[in-house]
Amino acid sequence: MQSNTPVGQFAGSAVAMMAVRAALVAAALAAGWAQAAAAAPSGAAPAPRVAQEPPCRNCGVVESVVRVQRPGQTKGIAGTPVTPGMAIGGVVGGLVGNQFGHGGGRTATTLLGAAGGAYAGHAIERNRAQRTAYVMHIRMADGSRRTIEQSVALRKGSHVVVEGKTARLARTHHNAQG
């Protein structure tokens, strides 16, 4: 029988509070065990570790880019080293040189005119065939510095891969995966 005294009511509420606390602790423990069981099922192997790639030995960053003009390659006539500019310059120079001097001196001025004309004609031809190149200074991943000259410029600050005597843009991890 329950007593109607204040002490009896207090004792009943204290027991009820202890029961509620015990239920809350049990629920919390059960939830923690459920999460642990879901995260690592028994008997399952641990998640595989992703191996990191070794540092790229050929990778670097472009530090500077300088545009330069280089003489172009000239082609000889019929497989010879004589270029059209040399031939035309030699003929014109020889004709002009022949106009000067008398006797043996005329022969000398003709030869000098032909040689000078051939040289000038070849120089003019090479200048017309100039090409643009880009000299890039690249700081490599190991701290060394490489100089690459090629016909395609890469922007300063670009991450590049050096392959032999050329450099190309490095692929990003995003592009490699997708």
Same-domain check for residues 83 and 116: yes
Mean pLDDT calculated for residue range 150-171: 92
**pLDDT band for position 167 (cuts 50, 70, 90):** very high
**Residue 107 lies in domain:** 74-128
Examine residue 119 and state whether it is found in any structural domain, yes or no: yes
Pairing outcome for strands 59-70 and 159-163: antiparallel
pLDDT at 10 over 60: no
pLDDT at 143 over 60: yes
Same-domain check for residues 159 and 118: no
CA pair distance 91, 63, nearest whole angstrom: 49
- Per residue in 80-106, pLDDT (tens digit) is 777 787 788 878 877 887 888 777 788
pLDDT at 165 over 70: yes
Examine residue 136 and state whether it is found in any structural domain, yes or no: yes
Same-domain check for residues 13 and 94: no
Which of 90 and 9 is assigned the larger pLDDT? 90
Task: State the pTM of this model.
Answer: 0.45
Same-domain check for residues 166 and 79: no
What is the pLDDT at residue 178?
38
| CA 156, 162, 164, 166 torsion-angle sign | negative
Same-domain check for residues 64 and 147: yes
Examine residue 5 and state whether it is found in any structural domain, yes or no: yes
> Judging by beta carbons within 10 Å of its beta carbon (0-12, 13-18, 19+), is residue 19 exposed, middle or buried?
exposed
What is the pLDDT at residue 158?
94
Cβ(63)–Cβ(156) below 8 Å:
yes
Same-domain check for residues 120 and 136: no
Same-domain check for residues 81 and 118: yes
> Judging by beta carbons within 10 Å of its beta carbon (0-12, 13-18, 19+), is residue 122 exposed, middle or buried?
buried
Average pLDDT, the chain: 76
- Per residue in 39-89, pLDDT (tens digit) is 555 555 666 666 555 668 899 999 999 999 887 777 777 777 777 877 888
What is the pLDDT at residue 67?
94
pLDDT at 156 over 80: yes
Which of 57 and 177 is assigned the larger pLDDT? 57
Examine residue 173 and state whether it is found in any structural domain, yes or no: yes
Same-domain check for residues 63 and 151: yes
Taking only Cα atoms into account, the Rg of the chain, rounded to an integer number of angstroms, comes to: 44
Same-domain check for residues 23 and 107: no
Q: What total number of domains does the chain contain?
A: 3
